[in-house]
Amino acid sequence: MSIKQYIVTAAVITLISGGLSLPSQNLSLAETGGGHDHHHHGAQIPMKGDEVIVDLETDPASIKAGSPATIFFFLKDLDGKPLQDLTITHDRLLHVIITSQDFSVFAHIHPEDLGPITPEMIKRARFPVRYTFPKAGLYLIALDSALKDSPFSEHFSIDVTGEPQMGPMKKDFTREKRFGEYLVTLSSAPERISSGKEVTLSYLIKKNGMPVNDLQPYLSAPMHIAVISADLNNFIHAHGELPGTSSPQSHGSHHHMTVPENFGPRIEAHISFPAKGVYQIFGEVRHQGKVMLTSFMVEVE
């Protein structure tokens, strides 16, 4: 068993702060790690006034396509003590994004998907998620959370073995696509995207040829957005806004976001791409109680 630790810069992400109410339950899944074969990674994340170490641990150590795996996140301070004072953001304590290198697989999951966050999880700062990787190959696993309302983000790359193998990434810069019953158009201002400069992304969502005006909040945001570079080295978790409600905070970063019960058909997002290259932009919106996933590719100069 080995733990690798390295310094990375925390990505700024959009989060909402809130109080954490702990249910009176005993820990179940988070304690089942003893005696299992695990795989560990670690990263040290500089923050404003604080530093966080994130260890990622998988059970089993070698993950096979099609077989369920448990991923544990262990959050520590620089003294190796469990990190306390984590803050709920967008209705969840931790947000976990998973995507394949060919961008054909995407998931947005949380420890709360397995059941309530327990006092023992909080005490140990060790949180599980469960996922079945459908294809073999390289995946990005990203974690978003907040410490005392200060957001932090970290991402890892892991290899999944077995079959079927994921194929090569296919370049597709189409800006109008159909996702199920929905036709979604993505535009950008400026049209040519440059690294290091903020760009406004605008989504127009239609269904049956008509604008969708009754979109609903998803996890306290009009849209959740994951921006990932083709080499998996850059990751941003941002949130969409309603036109005319932009704040000066970059990447759509809000500690508090008020979202009406119904809105649409346009959603905006303000993104600064950190480097040139090809990026995939995944967007999640909710309509009639169901979450729709959009996926667009852009080239950044």
* Phi/psi at 299 (5° precision): -110, 130
Per-residue pLDDT tens over the stretch 275-285: 999 999 999 99
Do 146 and 39 have their domain in common? Answer: yes
Q: Which of 230, 226, 232, 252 is nearest to 240 (CA)?
A: 252
Specify if 137 maps to a domain: yes
Do 125 and 217 have their domain in common? Answer: no
Do 56 and 142 have their domain in common? Answer: yes
Peptide bond into 190 cis (omega under 30): yes
Q: Are 267 and 238 in contact (CB under 8 A)?
A: no
| pLDDT recorded at residue 50 | 53
Say whether pLDDT at 25 is over 90: no
Distance of alpha carbon 209 from its chain centroid, rounded? 31
pLDDT grade, residue 45 (50/70/90)? very low
Do 211 and 249 have their domain in common? Answer: yes
Share of the chain above pLDDT 70, in %: 79
Specify if 131 maps to a domain: yes
* Alpha carbons within 13 A on the beta-carbon side of 281: 29
Using alpha carbons, list the distances in angstroms from residue 207 to 104, 141, 143, 202, 269: 23, 32, 33, 17, 21
Per-residue pLDDT tens over the stretch 205-221: 999 999 999 999 999 99
Say whether pLDDT at 173 is over 50: yes
* Alpha carbons within 13 A on the beta-carbon side of 264: 21
| pLDDT recorded at residue 296 | 98
| pLDDT recorded at residue 42 | 52
The whole domain housing 285 covers: 176-300
User: What's the mean per-residue pLDDT of the chain?
Assistant: 83
Per-residue pLDDT tens over the stretch 137-150: 999 999 999 888 88
Specify if 2 maps to a domain: no
- Decide which of 160, 187, 222 is a domain's last residue: 160
- Number of domains making up the chain: 2
Say whether pLDDT at 26 is over 80: no
What is the value of pTM for the model shown? Answer: 0.82
pLDDT grade, residue 40 (50/70/90)? low
